[in-house]
Structure 1
Amino acid sequence: MFNCTIPSIVFQEVPNQVSLCFCITGCQIGCKGCHSPELWQETHGHPLTNQTFTDLLTQYQGLITCVLFFGGEWAPLPLIEKLVIAKEHGLLTCLYSGEEVVAPQIIQHLNFLKTGSWQQEKGGLDNPKTNQKFIDVQTGKNLTHLFCSGEQHAAT
């Protein structure tokens, strides 16, 4: 099990999806300039049990199309459990990881994967110079371009 902050509905992190986003605490990367350094503390937030997760998915049923995790790859078993539950609810899944490589046993449960640490000089997914990548796991297609210059809206 791991902790997370209060989940939120997000619209831009996964192109063309309405996502319920969970920020998982205990990040071990510690990127300089991180927008949420409180997520480095494993004890920050509240425990995300499978029952609590299921209850939230039921609460938002029909309103969301995707479940997004900011982190959690450092706790693969509880993350995989949540990904499986999300799929059972008919939802797409996405992981935002600061790592370059994510374990295959996690990837097999994802529809989308963002990799790469935050590097202030290179910016995020919306910067053409970014080191980060947003991948459609099923096709292997790099979708990072959808975050630049309004292309996300053009793709709908």
Structure 2
Amino acid sequence: MVRYYNFDIVFAEIPGEVTLAINLTGCPNRCPGCHSPHLQADAGRVLDERELAELLGRYGRSVTCVCLMGGDAAPLAVAALAAFVRRSQPALRVGWYSGRSALPEGFPPETFDYIKLGGWVEALGPLTAPTTNQRLYRVDRSGAMEDITALFRRRG
């Protein structure tokens, strides 16, 4: 079961997209210096297909992407939610931010348009920093992942 703490409309998680970012709880990663330790607890509202459809219904055409932020404790459930978005809102792009450095075994990347990997390390900076440890991938329908991180790095 996947739970979420809150959500917001953001512009930086998936550059070039107006993104409904949903912060999932139950994070098992325990990254040093975690900027969202409240997301480590298994708390919040259940995020199932009905709840996700309600959230998407609130924003309609105002967003171009939905990004599930976290969910590393239940990656296959996160992928199932992404598949639901694909079926119910085919024009909407779908992203996942995982704090892990690699996808879990058996994970279906083709259910997403974007996957961002890598825990937050403040000293290395965000996706736009040349020193970041995070990577943003564009995923095609076959599941092939293209690293597009460099497209978003700040020019110094």
Common topology (TM > 0.5)? yes
**Counterpart AA for 1:69:** L
Give the percent of matched residue pairs that are identical in Structure 1 and Structure 2. 32
- Extract unaligned runs of 5+ from structure 1: 151-156
Deviation at 1:74, TM superposition (A): 2.1
* Conserved? CA contact 2:76–2:107, under 8 Å: no
CA RMSD of aligned residues (A): 1.7
Other-structure match for 1:93: 94
Residue 135 of structure 1 corresponds to 137
Question: 1:11 aligns to what?
Answer: 11
1:40 aligned residue: 40
The CA distance in 2 between the partners of 1:132 and 1:66, in whole Å, is 19
State the shift of 1:78 in Å: 2.5
Q: Secondary structure at the match of 1:93?
A: strand
Aligned length in residues = 149
The equivalent of 2:23 in structure 1 is 23
1:54: how far off?
Answer: 0.8
Alignment of 1:69-148 (within 5 A): 69-88=68-87, 89-90=89-90, 91-103=92-104, 104-138=106-140, 140-148=145-153
Name the CA distance, whole Å, in 1 between partners of 2:122 and 2:75.
Answer: 27
